[in-house]
A and B are shown apart, each in its own frame.
Chain A
Amino acid sequence: MIRRAIALRLAALVALSGLLPIVLLAIVGLQILKRRGEQASTEALTAIAEQASARIGMYISQQRETLHALAMAVGSEPDAARRLADVTLDAPSLGRLRLIDAQTPAQSLPPALRPEQIARALAGTEVASETYIRELSPAMDVCVPSGKPAHAVCATLDLLELQRQVQRIRVGQSGYALAFDRSGRLLAAGSGKLRAAVLSGEPVPESAAATQLARSGAAPSRLAGEGGADVLAGWSFLPDLGWSIAVEQPAAEALRGAREALVVLGLGALAALVISLVAGSAIARRMLATLEAEARWRTAGRIASGLSHDLGHRLAILKQIEQLAATNDPDYLPRIRDSLAAEVETLRKFVADFADLTRTPKPDEFMPVELNAFVQSVGSTAEEHGQRAQVAVEAATAPGEIWVRGDRYLLERATLNLVYNAIEASPPGSRVRLSVRQENGRALLTVEDRGQGIAEDRLETLFDSFNSTKRTGVHVGMGLPNVRRIVLAHSGEVSVKSRLGQGSEFTLALPAHSSSSSS
């Protein structure tokens, strides 16, 4: 399980470190693509708007030229009125043509031309009104010289054809064109929904931009269109007519390419991440298994080396005792007996150390342990050993109860190990001190001695297997690694502080529990 988690983390680390720069690079690239896409779309829309403007301008100009030609050809003829009326059959876009003079009644004059414009027209100057909506389509009143003094030929140009041109423009799936007059009134709309505004004169969202274009020559290329939709727009302006042409397309549609690229990239990155994690995890697990096997062999080698060293030492002593017994000298018997007893005790401890290694802490079976009572019990147990070494063992309790949960036997083995090490490291006449305290939710158990201390360069590997400083024959170097194994299994940690010539201080830190409750 641990190996799988480590493998996954390794794989994630490798995958992220590899993919992240690519993804960042791609995001930056896409932003650039999006910006350029927007610019390209706006340019394309502007080009369409300009084409439409050019066609509209040309159409108006042709209409006015035709009117000019007709007025000059017919306007001075005796049957001018009838012939002009007939023109509408062949050129319906010119509307109803009429010959006017100073006596023409007001109701027969073009409705959108002011009196001073009419006067200028009768004086021989071509005049034109602003565009206005007549019936359903835009119209414009124009008067041109008739070729007959003090007369003019007037027409109400029907600009339905221009409306058709605007309505016919389609961009992509839902892009369309709009035409506005100088005041921002909508004159023609490619969008059916906006045609109501053509007739009612109500402003549409783009009206403000159209007015701005007419006044300042500039209009935004991205704006909120119909229904608040984000749209890209290309604009064009016809100064003579005062028309603004907008060709717009929903931004989402115009920039679909960039967005799709982003989605594809995101999905690609995600797929690459998943593949990296799956493959990386599998590879890492195999590598970890190989490393673990190698470490296991290395440990076995170290154990074998330690065992052969320690057991070799014991065998050498037993050989000396055998040689002493072979002399059959009764004087040696007490010495032989004491030596054998000592060797048996040493081998018993040796076996006990290994027995500790075979016992695995099981958190489900942990029980509450009160540390004040615990250190007093451990102190009593170690007292005899201390007396033999002429070292006092002192257990200092905390003011209140301090509870932890654990395997009492293994905690005792770990603490005794530290206490015995401390006694053995202490000079005769000194003392070893056990103490407990609680800090930041942790229960701390400290074993201090005033021995020779441990060199700083050894502290780092002190808890590794077979690293004992005391190759005296009774330590195989499994004690401190076992202490660490036990403490880690209790979700705690072990630390050491030591100064040469001043002594050492080992601390077990375990999660504190609030009470003796077993839950």
Chain B
Amino acid sequence: MGEIVPALASKVEIAGDREVRVWLRQDVRFSDGTPLTFEDVATSLARNQLRVRRDGESLLVDSDDPALPTELLLARALVFRRSGERLLGTGAFVVKEEDQSHVLLARRQREPGRIDRVLLQAYPLPKDAFAHMFKGDADLLPYAEARWLEFFEGVPRLRILKAPGTNANAVAFNLRRLSRAERVALVQVLANNEVRKLAFGDGCLPRADEPRTEPLASGRPLGVVALPIFERFALAIRRALGERGGEVRLADLQHFFATVKSGDFDMVAAAPLIWPPVMSVLVWRTGAPSNVLGYSNPRVDAALDARDWRGAQRALDEDPPAAFVCNPDRIAVVDARIKNAELGPYDLLETLPQWEVVQ
């Protein structure tokens, strides 16, 4: 659970403090059919602050970044090659057409029974996308909300796919305004089934390690900032805070991030990355790019340096930057004629090249 599985490498080993040894697969090819070379890897990894050198049949990768482990940087890296004005990848599909409203992908080498072309079409409103699914104009709705699933139930030509989500529904704290003790107390008040059910009903799975609920100590009212889609979540948070429930402020995306950046908030309703767990830790590493709250915990950093992911998680729990309320599923609706459609662990469309079409 949560282990990083190599895609382009046949084997990965930790070689030293900041070094990782990688054996590349010999059969990897770019979408234009040309083989992956050392130069491609070196150029690509350099974009992720990683250096590569040959060492016999393997490659040794190291990093200048003192904050993050090399293997985590490696896991986030994308390997590509520049071809004219475009970038080539190593997937089964190549981009044939692209504009603001659509992307057309075509399989590099046709495979009988497998999807040959994929048209990613943008619709103005969710209801337009839903209507096209019902009409049969579209075969996959990759991001559906749990509350709308009943609309698709009982429709024979559609199937609902579910997979564990990569983000949690959480309440992130302003670390400058709330002490560690307050945050621990707030986690107990907020990360529970009552808030989860009130905010999300049954559409969000409870966390396994639900803390016990204890009354919050008296103090000043605490406000919540949220995107409009989290209005109900924000109201549930306010109710859970009881007498300390303060203003609920709804903000569009731009204002939301501006507020977080300015630090003018007590709490925000957010959806931080939680999967795979080793990657989620990146969010909380001191100085990590995704650490927008500015969280800094030497114990977390030390555990990360020691590659002790569980230890890092424990350190996070003791000095919580957020209260994790629940884990929503990722949901997609797909045409029932696609035989083995399932959602990939990282992204909805990861497994699409393997989907089979019933003729």
Q: Which residues of A does B touch, CB under 8 Å?
A: 85-86, 88-89, 92, 96, 133, 135-136, 164, 167, 190, 192-193, 195-196, 199-200
Contact = CB atoms under 8 A, between A and B. Distances in A.
B220 interface: no
Contacts of B130: 136, 195-196, 199
B154 A167 contact: yes
B157 interface: yes
Contacts of A133: 127
B194 to A, nearest CB: 11
A200 B132 CA distance: 9
Contacts of A192: 134, 152, 154-158
Interface stretch (B97-105, B176-184, B231-239): B231-239
Interface in B212-249: 231-232, 235-236, 238-239, 248
B232 A199 contact: no
Given A88-B232, A136-B130, A195 B155 contact: yes
Chain B interface helix/strand/loop/mixed? helix
A200 B134 CA distance: 10
Contacts of A135: 126-127
B291 to A, nearest CB: 32
Contact of A199 (B127, B155, B158, B235): B127
A96 B235 CA distance: 11
A89 B236 contact: yes
A196 B134 CA distance: 5
Nearest to A195: B134
Contact of B239 (A86, A92, A164, A195): A86
A86 B126 contact: no
Given A164-B150, A192-B154, A193-B134, A136 B232 contact: no
A190 B151 CA distance: 10
A195 B151 contact: yes
Which 3 pairs show the lowest CB-CB distances between chains A and B? A192-B155, A196-B134, A199-B131
B252 interface: no
Given A86-B235, A89-B198, A192-B155, A136 B148 contact: yes
Contacts, number: 53
Nearest to B148: A136
A333 to B, nearest CB: 116
Interface string B133-156: 111000000000000101110111
Contacts of B154: 167, 190, 192
Contact of A88 (B131, B157, B235): B235
B223 to A, nearest CB: 12
A136 B126 contact: yes
B128 interface: yes
A133 B126 CA distance: 13
Contacts of B131: 196, 199-200
B353 to A, nearest CB: 29
Contacts of A196: 130-135
A92 B133 CA distance: 27
Nearest to B199: A89
Contacts of A89: 198, 232, 235-236, 239
A136 B149 CA distance: 11
A195 B156 CA distance: 12
A92 B198 CA distance: 10
B135 to A, nearest CB: 4
B156 to A, nearest CB: 7
A62 B157 CA distance: 36
Interface string B113-139: 000000000000011101111110000
Contacts of A193: 134, 155
Contacts of B134: 192-193, 195-196, 199
A200 B127 CA distance: 8
Given A196-B134, A200-B131, 9 more contacts: A86-B235, A88-B235, A89-B198, A192-B156, A192-B158, A195-B130, A195-B134, A195-B151, A196-B132
Contacts of A164: 150
Contacts of B235: 85-86, 88-89
Interface in B284-300: none
Nearest to B151: A136
Nearest to B131: A199
A160 to B, nearest CB: 9
Contacts of A136: 126-127, 130, 148, 151
B252 to A, nearest CB: 13
B89 to A, nearest CB: 35
Nearest to B247: A82
A135 to B, nearest CB: 6
A196 B158 CA distance: 13
Contacts of A200: 128, 131, 135
A86 B199 CA distance: 12
A199 B128 contact: yes
A135 B144 CA distance: 13
